[in-house]
Amino acid sequence: MSFRTPPTRRIALLVAVACTTLSGCASLVSSAASGFADRLSLAILNQDDPDTVKAAMPSYMVLLDSLVEGSPDDPDILAAAATLYASYGAVFADEPLRAQRLTRRARDYAQRALCAEYAEACGWRDLNYDDFVASLDSVQEDEAELLYTYGFATLAYLRAHSDDWNSLAELPQAQALFEHYLEVAGTGVNEATYVYMGILHTLRPPALGGQPELAREHFERAIALSDGRDLSAKVEFAKGYARLLYERELHDELLTSVLDANPYADGLTLSNVLAQQEAAQLLLDADDYF
């Protein structure tokens, strides 16, 4: 069986060969590679067959590893690799240890991406909460997208390591990170952040610092901002809030609306299909839970 190099990657390779004796070509190759990574991410998000994505993603994860090897300090390539690893580790990894390994790599890539633009981020994991928050204050809109990627990878990592109390101790930092992101992102804010904030406020019960009513506000805002197209927001609302507070009516109403919705939406199709699968399962075992 012959192996056909993806067209955009093939162009990047040809550019690399042609540029070996010319100055300034490193940035051109980096641009082609990061452009490929962006288009790959969009193609994955618009796929409606999760099994196809699950089978294909590992190959592209290794491909992005190779792009990182070629451009180890390129924040765009590092961020793309972080996003792909975090997504796969959070959604498709079947074994807990594998999810932990993949999300650990995701967070490492994301930190390297942010570190390339904001040097203080290089040492964030060694800081206590107060010093971490103080360091966050200097992150501005130019670094907002990389900050979001680091937050997403961190949340995937913390979920995969939820049985580790040391990881749970990082939840306040993750919350502070997304709060600062919302302050500096301006009009380019990623609406999924409100889902993540809702998740963070429900990962702990109220007795341990969880804030379910604040989580509800974030979930409802995420739903409103997407005009209800982001079905994962409703699933997380049902799973994180309604189940936590044993609100069966709200739980079933949210999940039924997910199943009744059209999953096709640009940039949301894959997550919506996955959300419908999870909603069906949550409804199926609701009688045992409530």
| Fold agreement (36-176, 191-290) | yes
The structural domains of the chain, with segments of one domain joined by +, span: 36-176, 191-290
What is the signed CA dihedral for 11, 17, 21, 27, rounded to 10 degrees? Answer: 40
Q: What is the CATH number of domain 36-176?
A: 1.25.40.920
What six digits make up the tokens of 172? 């306040």
Q: What percent of the chain has pLDDT over 70?
A: 86
pLDDT in tens, 148-183: 999 999 999 998 998 887 777 888 999 999 999 999
Q: Specify the pTM.
A: 0.82
The tens digit of pLDDT for each residue in 13-61 reads: 333 333 333 333 344 445 555 566 667 777 888 999 999 999 999 998 9
What is the per-residue pLDDT across 91-135, written as a single tens digit (0 to 9) for each? Answer: 999 899 999 999 999 999 999 999 999 999 999 999 999 999 999
User: Is residue 81 over pLDDT 60?
Assistant: yes
How many Cβ atoms sit within 10 Å of the Cβ of residue 255?
27
Q: What is the DSSP letter of 123?
A: G
- The DSSP symbol for 6 reads P
* Closest by CA position to 90, among listed 19, 162, 170: 162
Tokens for 265, please give them: 């939406």
Per CATH, which fold does 191-290 belong to?
Answer: 1.25.40
How far apart are alpha carbons 29 and 19 in whole angstroms? 9
